[in-house]
Structure 1
Amino acid sequence: MDEIPIFIAILSFIVMCVGEILAYYSVSLKYKYEFEAISFGFIFGVATLILLPKSFFEGFAIFIVLGMITVYLIERYLAYCPLSKKYCVDCDNLEEELKIKFIYPISFFIHTFIDGLIIAVSYISNIGLPLYLAILMHKLPAGFVLMSPLKGVYRNPFFIGAIVSLGTVIGAVIGLMTLKTISLKILLAFSGGIFLGTFLMLVPHIYEHKREKSFLYILLGYILAGLLTLH
């Protein structure tokens, strides 16, 4: 039944591509930050209510910390977000343009690839729906965020966008091929660390844009994750 995670990965690819198409044609995602805040709250809920409780064993905290460190290192040394720097494609800044052309999509590909690995972990651990939803919920705004800078530096940015989005499918396939031999509790602890690290790194960004209501949207996402644990 490996078809299920592959289907989710392909669906994630399609949803992210839809976000890219909307961004390319300048269709505004009016509630982008609200949706992201809800998805981050959902991710935090999945980590604290599902992943970490199911991963408990002696020494499990080490793998949680490793997951959080992984996110930090990616964000610190590999990630580059021109949107947060209020970039301008008309300023003739060659260094900035090169970063947008190459570093930005590479860092985004790493992100989508890890999403695919999480989908594989979800299937292997029989957690299923909560982790699938945690990945799917942020794919539309992720596609929008990816394409917004790329369309200013590429004549045909869809090819690059599709490759980046395909990282989720590639990650899921590789995860299904390689992760089944690793201890399930280690996978869950590491995944929980990834989710916690993602939440801690990105929530300040949401707070900057939706300061007055960000906590409420995050809380809503957390409650939604909590409701799934009741089933």
Structure 2
Amino acid sequence: MDHNIGKIRHDYTLKGLSKKDLDPDPLRQFRIWFNEAVNSGITEPNAMLLSTVSNGRPSSRIVLLKDLDDTGFMFFTNYKSKKGEEMAGNPQVSLTFFWKEFERQVRIEGKVEKTSLQESDEYFASRPRGSQIGAWVSSQSSVIENRNVLEKLTQEQESRFAGGEVPRPPYWGGYRVVPDYIEFWQGRPSRLHDRLTYHKNAEGLWSVERLAP
């Protein structure tokens, strides 16, 4: 290997984080950090790691946050994909955001649920036409022989919907992650990071605790 991985390190020095800095509502606090990331111009600040579990085996991949409301975090995908099948079997998931430019990480745990058909239809209608066609082309996570398969299917679907709107496939739509745990992590020097966590109790109220780094 060309580099000594063990010697790759960066000391975090930008900011600190204390309880008094936090909004009592973690979703409002997330919006504060998320808006700072968006306004900074960094690439895809809405990229998040979605982790699912099937038969005790975890699986993770990057997806894009597409909306946030007072209930939770929304993204869209193929219901028949690997992650879709895993979420159908076990709705407990986690999300992770990492904004290295701000030396920040947010970890979210909760239960995933499908969005309404109206929400899925509205978001699908807002997508670029190429992405709409792509949703019909890809049987996501299934094995294909080569890329020519995708290109042929793309041509077929473009001809199918030529001159008209592209409807949402019935197997494609949205999910909302409803959190019961959210952790805000701010990098600090000497790996003594700030970790502030929100926990939701049975009454739906949030409490905040600090964790050792």
* TM-score between both structures, scaled by the size of structure 1: 0.24
Which one scores higher on RCO, CA 8 angstroms, separation ≥ 6?
1
TM-score when normalising by structure 2 = 0.25
More helix by share: 1
Computing the radius of gyration from Cα coordinates, the structure with the larger value is 2
